[in-house]
Amino acid sequence: MPELPEVETVVRELGEEIIGDTISSVEIFRSNPIVQGDLDAFQQQMSGRKFIDVRRRAKYLIFHLEPEKYLVAHLRMTGKFIISNPLPEPTKYNRVWFNLKSNRVLIFDDIRCFGTLEVYAKLSDSKSLKKLGIEPLSAGLTPEYFKKLLHSSKREIKSILLDQKFVVGLGNIYVSEILFRAKIHPQRIAGKINKKEWSRIVNNTQYILQEAIKNNGTTISDFRRVDDKTGKFQQFLQVYDKKEEPCPECGLPIQRIVQQQRSTYFCAECQR
DNA sequence: AGCGGAACCTGTCGGC
DNA sequence: TGCCGACAGGTTCCGC
């Protein structure tokens, strides 16, 4: 479900609600496979701790708690965080309730149960955070960075941009949109992309992500913000999920192909 | 080492 | 209506 702009939206909205609040207790309605490790330990480590910060790294949400502990969450495809007043019963896909001292509940809800919740004493203990590449909105994302890392890569550019070890935060929707605006064919071999083309990729990546964040992300089917509102960026999508619709640049039909078992949408005329 | 494909889990939609 | 396959915004694991 969520890529960088959606996670960023959730992090900002959650922060405003929960920083300063304290977890009184944790109720787990379905742990497998969401909550990693021992459940009792998870509940005990979280209970009584206060949220002092919420931030994002790649598509992970990092909750900083006091006394020192970190909750690292990933929404994967259908995970959601919801702030609610107390409910009589968990609803169907509520997986974990973090009951708060303010008499509200921070709910982790996830239809498909791909999401993950992990607690660490130190962030450096997290294996998944270690493997991540550069943040796309940081100054380090440059055409030179890509060129240097990928000059001999034989992989297709779509696959490279989805791979979180090079640049983080991009997913299936934004990669199609970025390559469309950069006029790069999704099956181009990364090693053969020149400096000028990398520069178009970098510029459009940053432009699209910034615009998407301004619009609180993209709601295609079920992404929801903390307050259950939808994002607005879907109205700016030019190719994603638009098979056979006319390309906004040239009018020829948008193509759909499958790469790495995932749909890619592009214009065969405009993207070379 | 690095790649592609299967797996994780649940729901929806379209075709027959 | 019922069944079946394809597909869904992600990541990890397992062979080759």
Alpha-carbon torsion angle A217, A221, A223, A227, nearest 10: 100
Looking at residue A246, what DSSP letter applies?
Answer: B
Pairwise CA distance, residues A94 & A71, whole Å: 18
In a domain, A137, yes or no: no
Q: Do residues A155 and A230 share a domain?
A: yes
Nucleotide nearest to A132 (CA to C1'): C11
Return the CATH number at A224: 1.10.8.50
Dihedral of the alpha carbons of A21, A88, A72, A38, in degrees to the nearest 10: 120
* Domain match, A116 and A55 both: yes
What pLDDT, in 10s, does the model give residues A115-166?
A: 999 999 999 999 999 999 999 999 999 999 999 999 999 999 999 999 999 9
Residue-range definition of the domain harbouring residue A29: 4-130
pLDDT at A224: 66
Residues 207-226 of A with CB under 7 A from strand B: none
pLDDT at A70 over 80: yes
Residues A59 and A122 placed together within one structural domain of the fold: yes
Residues A261 and A153 in one domain: yes
Instruction: Kindly compute the dihedral angle of the four CA atoms of residues A34, A38, A39, A44, in this order, to the nearest 10 degrees.
Output: -130
Determine the protein residue whose CA lies at the shortest distance from the C1' of B3.
A155
Distance A159 CA to B16 C1' (A): 35
CB A19 within 8 A of CB A185: no
Instruction: State which of A66, A98, A130 marks the end of a domain.
Output: A130
| Cα A14 from Cα A188, distance rounded (Å) | 39
- Domain assignment present for residue A272? The answer is no
Same domain, A52 and A99: yes
* Final residue in a domain of this structure, among A100, A130, A160: A130
CA distance A221 to A132: 27
Q: Do A106 and A215 have their domain in common?
A: no
- Are residues A98 and A39 part of one domain? yes
The pLDDT value recorded for residue A225 is: 66
CB A208 within 8 A of CB A181: yes
How many structural domains are present in chain A?
2
Asked whether the beta carbons of A166 and A146 are under 8 A apart, the reply is yes
Virtual torsion, Cα A131, A260, A60, A203, nearest 10 deg: 90
A148 part of a folded domain: yes
Residue A136 domain-assigned (yes or no)? no
CA distance A267 to A151: 25
Residues A167 and A90 in one domain: no
Query: Lowest-confidence range among A83-87, A221-225, A262-266?
Result: A221-225
Question: Are A186 and A253 within one domain?
Answer: yes
Helices (H), chain A: 4-18, 39-46, 127-130, 143-150, 157-162, 172-182, 195-214
What is the pLDDT, as a whole number, of residue A5?
Answer: 97
Report which residue is nearest nucleotide C12 when distances run from CA to C1': A128
Is the bond leading into A2 cis (omega within 30 degrees of zero)? Answer: no
Over residues A181-232, the pLDDT tens digits come to: 999 999 999 999 999 999 999 999 999 999 999 999 998 876 566 666 789 9
- What distance in Å separates the CA atoms of residue A57 and residue A231, rounded to the nearest whole number? 20
Supply the pLDDT for residue A21.
98
The CATH number of the domain holding residue A89 is 3.20.190.10
Environment class of residue A153 by beta-carbon count within 10 Å: exposed (0-12), middle (13-18) or buried (19+)? middle
CA–C1' gap, A36 and C14, in angstroms: 21
Distance in Å, residue A147 CA to nucleotide B9 C1': 38
Indicate whether A193 and A215 sit together in one domain.
Answer: yes
Summarize the confidence of residues A251-257 as an average pLDDT: 96
Q: Give yes or no: residues A149 and A123 share one domain.
A: no
**Catalytic site residues of A?**
2-3, 59, 262
Q: Which of A130, A154, A181 represents a domain boundary (last residue)? A: A130
Q: How far is the CA of A109 from the C1' of C2 (A)?
A: 31
List pLDDT tens digits, range A7-55.
999 999 999 999 999 999 999 998 888 898 899 999 999 999 999 999 9
The residue-averaged pLDDT of A86-110 equals 96
pLDDT at residue A74 above 70? yes
d(CA A247, CA A46): 50
Tell if A120 CB is < 7 Å from nucleic strand B: no
Let me know if residue A153 belongs to a domain: yes
Question: What does the pLDDT read at residue A32?
Answer: 82
Give the per-residue pLDDT at A227.
Answer: 64
Query: Which nucleotides in chain B lie less than 7 Å from some protein C-beta?
Result: 2-11
Mean pLDDT of A62-86: 97
Q: pLDDT: is A227 or A65 the higher one?
A: A65
What pTM was estimated for this model as a whole? Answer: 0.96
Chain A window 157-186, residues with Cβ within 7 A of nucleic strand B: 159
Q: Could you give the CA distance from residue A257 to residue A201 in angstroms, rounded to a whole number?
A: 20
pLDDT of the residue at A31: 84
The residue written with tokens 């999920």 in the block is A241
Q: How far is A59 from A135, CA to CA, in rounded Å?
A: 10
Together in a domain, A159 and A95: no
pLDDT of residue A230: 83
pLDDT band at A250 (very low <50, low <70, confident <90, very high): very high
